[in-house]
């Protein structure tokens, strides 16, 4: 492959059900003499994003100004909001709410065995993960004796790797 520019972009975009300002993923309410209630929302996201150049000869010649782009990029863009609301009342009340979002990302930019890459500019090989996770459990209890428990977790576990195989030849002639 010979070109002015070569860009290999692999992108995963995840959006959890994005809610309006007065909306919840889980909403529960109850009342009575003796109350024991729970509300739970649990989300697991698992992404694998691969940007790969195989066993190939790739030459970037650049444009008239001599600048060329050779980029291999894997990108995960995750955004999730979780809102759990529990409202209970009674003489004796015990309530709990749980809100969890866990994202596992595997971002790999790969140059496979035997590839030959030549560019007049820089070689840019990268992996990126952007994540905005927000969990918000809320419990409202009322009564003579009330107890509430809330648990929340927002976590991203990422495995980002740039992998260069055996017998790969790279020439980047940027000044």
Count the neighbouring beta carbons within 10 Å of the beta carbon of residue 171: 11
Contact partners, residue 142, CB within 8 Å, separation at least 6: 88, 89, 93
Q: How far apart are CA 148 and CA 146, in angstroms?
A: 7
The predicted-structure confidence for 101-145, as pLDDT tens digits, reads as follows 999 999 999 999 999 999 988 899 999 999 999 999 999 898 889
Per-residue pLDDT at 32 = 86
- pTM, rounded to two decimals: 0.82
The answer to whether the Cα torsion of 5, 53, 103, 155 is positive or negative is: negative
Phi and psi at residue 102, to the nearest 5°: -125, 125
């Amino acid at each position: 492959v010979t070109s002015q520019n070569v860009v290999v972009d692999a992108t995963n975009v995840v959006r959890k059900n994005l809610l309006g300002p007065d909306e919840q993923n889980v909403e529960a309410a109850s009342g009575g003499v003796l109350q024991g209630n729970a509300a739970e929302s649990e989300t697991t996201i698992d992404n694998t994003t691969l940007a790969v150049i195989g066993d190939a000869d790739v030459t970037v010649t650049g444009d008239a100004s001599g600048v060329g782009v050779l980029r291999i990029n894997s990108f995960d863009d995750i955004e999730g909001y979780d809102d759990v609301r529990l409202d209970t009342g009674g003489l004796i009340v015990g309530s709990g709410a749980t809100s969890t979002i866990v994202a596992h990302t595997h971002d790999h930019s790969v140059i496979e065995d035997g590839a030959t890459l030549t560019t007049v500019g820089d070689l840019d090989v990268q992996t990126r993960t952007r994540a905005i996770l927000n969990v918000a459990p809320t419990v409202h209890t009322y009564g003579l004796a009330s107890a509430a428990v809330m648990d929340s977790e927002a976590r991203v576990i990422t495995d980002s790797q740039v992998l260069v195989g055996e017998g790969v030849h790279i020439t980047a002639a940027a000044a």
